[in-house]
Structure 1
């Protein structure tokens, strides 16, 4: 296969794939995380002066994709180095960078990300978690969050709250680092049918008191800082989905080559072969859009990156679901057995359609921002 990637990226892809094969789908998550950290993969996107690899989303998404294709994706890579690490690297104070980036890069520290709320959903303008100034110059946070990943294993959570603009009285989004053991910061696990190492939580912030330096970046930057985290989240979700789709497809192709109930293996029949070929094409197309989005973001073009990141997330989510469905269908009854490990992906694949933004909201974004059509809301 002809690659459009640089030799450096091809070498990185090969090395990460080898790591993924060593651990496999039955991997020990902590051991994999430690190995990936030791090899420099977790912080490949973070600045070299703070212990990172000096690369960008292009490299980090490649790492996550290849681990996913080997059956051992690391979901916290989407959150800790990609969202939180990026935001702190771009907007954090020097003290925040020194405190957090080395640990995020070497895997010794992790950070969760809290934006979604029970009554806000995809409408970030309805976020009700608020931050007010305390008498000592610090902050007091009050509110709720839901479907927040990995809070129990993260050292802190980067919480999206809103502060009041003294000039206009309007609320604007701001980001705060909330330690896991902060007083008033409560978490309740959500009972999910999705079987994943990273659990989902509902959070309650009951007058959580934070020091002044818990605020990341400029209080007036607002949406700029927020989207600095959301665009990487979409790119990395695409990488997660593409890796999962590749893993499922590889299982189905291998099965179709060997499974023989008539004269030829079932893969010789177009009813089996063509849908698998279509799934491969869709995954490859999604990867190209993901690579475009990552490159635009790494080059600092936030507006173009936002459009491409949404498209990449949409394309990858759709391609992943179809690849998993067709792979399970190819194996028939075997596709639902633990031996082949595909049935669990039926639920997991839907995550890329739902999170971090639904496909319908992506279509809204493209119709409004790209095509210039009027809003219906």
Structure 2
């Protein structure tokens, strides 16, 4: 391990309105900052996994801070996990697996999983000894979950799944998948409902094909082929045919968690840019004394802080069991734009050095840019806000 926690003055405290959250943030910053950006970059360059960091995050309770205490978690909420996720990225370690396994899968299991599934997975997710991946996206369905064609058909007491998912992250390091599948038999209205099932990654008939991605992350992307993959009777999450409702227990946390990764990257980029602008001297003055350098960074800082506050609000609404959809979508939208702007301006401040991998910024570009597209695109967020917030006619 090497490195020191990265900070930007009071920036890290603007969203923490109690001592517990400030202490949590400081503890995560100390742990992750001890590994540092160089550790994370080396792991990615070697095609390895940050196993040491993940194990420590689990052992200290950070991975399961939001999960119920009776299942090995910390008993907190999404707002607590949001602090953990953002601070990891702010220390130069934007880890997607914490979004996928604890945030999405953990939240869904905690809300809708049977006692068997909760006992099987939640404590190990919290302690970092088990990971789960989430399979929802399909090549031909796009953002329209109703068009999913991966099908679960009854087979005795269990099911068989056939179909295809893609852009499934981290499945190579996961013990199980949460799969959103269409029910084979139509409902009385003729429509095919959706169910949510757990699939062991060791199950026969499951084949993984790596996707060649520009993302410089330890989590790899895959197309998953399901060829009559068996699912045991206890593999069903919640109620059969209610998968679409159940999956939203994970989609709002997904948007908040993604926003927090983006906000953390924005904070990291601005911290690096500010440090460079203070140290880099041209014509006897630090370049940060020039408004042409200082103002773009200040503007990006404002955007990141606004996005952070929106993510905090969305997490709090979710924890209060209120409707968090609008806030979660706005948070993700704002964070994607703010992150990209902050990183772009940080790279620009570094001049040619910004394109050097040595400075730890250039390899974050496609990760930051991804937040304009995933886990939900800017266009679909705008559709949601136009229809549900403004009351405009549905456009699609």
Is TM > 0.5 for Structure 1 vs Structure 2? Answer: yes
Post-superposition Cα deviations, 1:239-268, rounded to whole Å, max 9, x if no partner, equal: 000001111111110000111111321101
Secondary structure, counterpart of 1:203 in structure 2: strand
Alignment of 1:13-52 (within 5 A): 13-27=25-39, 29-52=50-73
1:265 has 2:286 as partner: yes
TM-score, structure 2 normalization: 0.92
Query: What is the CA-CA distance between 1:169 and the residue it aligns to?
Result: 3.0
In the alignment, the residues of structure 1 paired with residue 28 and residue 78 of structure 2 have an alpha-carbon distance, to the nearest angstrom, of 15
Query: Partner of 1:156 in structure 2?
Result: 176
Post-superposition Cα deviations, 1:303-345, rounded to whole Å, max 9, x if no partner, equal: x301110000000000000000000000000001121011111
Query: What is the CA-CA distance between 1:137 and the residue it aligns to?
Result: 1.8
Alignment of 1:1-377 (within 5 A): 1=10, 3=14, 5-27=17-39, 29-134=50-155, 136-163=156-183, 164-301=185-322, 304-377=323-396
The alignment covers a number of residue pairs equal to: 374
8 Å Cα contact 1:46/1:55 also seen in 2: yes
8 Å Cα contact 1:173/1:226 also seen in 2: no
Secondary structure, counterpart of 1:46 in structure 2: coil
In the alignment, the residues of structure 2 paired with residue 219 and residue 239 of structure 1 have an alpha-carbon distance, to the nearest angstrom, of 32
In the alignment, the residues of structure 2 paired with residue 30 and residue 53 of structure 1 have an alpha-carbon distance, to the nearest angstrom, of 21
Query: What is the CA-CA distance between 1:222 and the residue it aligns to?
Result: 3.3
Secondary structure, counterpart of 1:354 in structure 2: coil
Query: What is the CA-CA distance between 1:130 and the residue it aligns to?
Result: 1.1
* Shift >6 Å, 4+ stretches: none
In the alignment, the residues of structure 2 paired with residue 368 and residue 326 of structure 1 have an alpha-carbon distance, to the nearest angstrom, of 33
Query: What is the CA-CA distance between 1:60 and the residue it aligns to?
Result: 0.6
Structure 1: unaligned runs, 5 residues or longer: none
Query: What is the CA-CA distance between 1:224 and the residue it aligns to?
Result: 1.8
8 Å Cα contact 2:113/2:238 also seen in 1: yes
Range with bigger deviation, 168-177 or 30-39: 168-177
8 Å Cα contact 1:174/1:226 also seen in 2: no
Secondary structure, counterpart of 1:131 in structure 2: strand
In the alignment, the residues of structure 2 paired with residue 11 and residue 52 of structure 1 have an alpha-carbon distance, to the nearest angstrom, of 18
TM-score, structure 1 normalization: 0.97
In the alignment, the residues of structure 2 paired with residue 146 and residue 369 of structure 1 have an alpha-carbon distance, to the nearest angstrom, of 29
Structure 2: unaligned runs, 5 residues or longer: 1-9, 44-49
Query: What is the CA-CA distance between 1:165 and the residue it aligns to?
Result: 4.5
In the alignment, the residues of structure 2 paired with residue 115 and residue 194 of structure 1 have an alpha-carbon distance, to the nearest angstrom, of 20
8 Å Cα contact 2:216/2:364 also seen in 1: no
In the alignment, the residues of structure 2 paired with residue 193 and residue 79 of structure 1 have an alpha-carbon distance, to the nearest angstrom, of 19
In the alignment, the residues of structure 1 paired with residue 187 and residue 350 of structure 2 have an alpha-carbon distance, to the nearest angstrom, of 61
